Amino acid sequence: MTIPDIPTPPDVIGQTKAGMKYHIIGTVQQTLSVELQPGQMVFSDTGAMSWMTVSVSMNTRGSGGLGGMLKRAVSGASAFIIDFNANNAPGLVAFTTDFPGKILPMELEAGQSVIMHRHAFLCAEKSVELDVFFTRKLGVGLLGGEGFILQKLTGPGTAFVELDGDAIEYRLAANQVMRVETGHVAMFESSVTFDIEFIKGLNNILLAGEGLALATLRGPGRIWLHSMTTSKIAQRIAEYLPGKAG
């Protein structure tokens, strides 16, 4: 009996509008490799870089001045970000995902924004603006899975985000609503309204295992959901820790 070869998805090789080349490698836990030419730069949160060539230099700086640093510190994110520059020769810098998942390139036009959970940002071209996004409604803040605080990326330029598990994209029409278990909300365009809706029915609340509320994403705009949530992974791992019943 001949065992057929199992095809694997090809790596993604691309180039941003600004001419920066990148390579997304792997399937289960992906790696982003960025080729930098002299004069090109990407930035990331602290601790995101995995490896780089000697021709690439690092520069750690505060994000958005004192006000931006304070906002990021309050959000639980690092108050600092790192710039990666090619010196006098081309170089390479690589970033890997924290969990098994997908890396998505986001080509943002001038003024175009996406809002994402605070662990999704991987890196971006220097023209992209990274900011903290505070949800205004108390219900979203208390029950929204990520608290009051998300992250916002605004173009122009290309940014790279990491989503846990598989990344599922939907395009919502005006006033079309998707109800989502809060931990699966990964990213959405700024035109989409993010809110919280309490689950109705006593049996649903007590027996459905979905918690007290669901996130509601109302169009128009694109939304991205991820199939894996860190909270569910933590629960599954906890079952095998010492002291837990088998």
Q: Is residue 142 part of a domain?
A: yes
Rg of the chain on CA atoms, in Å: 20
Number of Cβ atoms within 10 Å of the Cβ of 173: 8
Q: Which domain holds residue 51?
A: 12-238
Q: What is the DSSP letter of 203?
A: H
Question: Domain of 193: which CATH number?
Answer: 3.60.160.10
Provide the pLDDT for residue 27.
87
Contact 103, 162 (CB under 8 A): yes
- Give me 122's structure tokens: 């991987």
Beta-bridged to residue 98, according to DSSP, are none
Q: Is residue 129 part of a domain?
A: yes
Provide the pLDDT for residue 236.
79
Q: Is residue 5 part of a domain?
A: no
Per-residue pLDDT tens listing for the chain (246 residues): 455 665 666 788 999 999 999 999 998 889 999 999 998 999 998 889 999 999 999 999 876 555 555 555 555 556 689 999 998 899 999 999 888 899 999 999 999 999 998 889 999 999 999 988 866 554 444 444 444 578 899 999 999 999 999 999 999 999 999 999 888 999 999 999 988 777 655 544 444 445 567 889 999 999 999 998 877 787 778 888 887 654
Contact 52, 84 (CB under 8 A): yes
Q: Is residue 22 part of a domain?
A: yes
SS3 assignment, position 9: coil
Q: Is residue 159 part of a domain?
A: yes
CA angle 101, 103, 108 (to 5 degrees): 145
Domain count across the chain = 1
Q: Is residue 1 part of a domain?
A: no
Contact 120, 165 (CB under 8 A): no
- Give me 177's structure tokens: 């609503």
Number of Cβ atoms within 10 Å of the Cβ of 81: 24
Q: Given the DSSP bridges, would you call strands 101-108 and 41-45 parallel, antiparallel or unpaired? A: unpaired
H-state helical runs in the chain: 65-75, 138-143, 202-207, 230-238
Provide the pLDDT for residue 175.
96
How many angstroms separate the CA atoms of 95 and 93, rounded?
A: 7
Residue 210 dihedral angles phi and psi, to the nearest 5°: -105, 10
Which of 195, 186, 197, 187 lies closest to 217 in space, CA to CA? 195
b/e code 91-113 from CB counts within 10 Å (16+ = b): bbbbbbbeeebbbbbbebeeebb
Residue 40 dihedral angles phi and psi, to the nearest 5°: -90, 150
Q: What is the DSSP letter of 101?
A: E
Bond before 100 cis per omega within 30 degrees:
no
Q: Is residue 243 part of a domain?
A: no
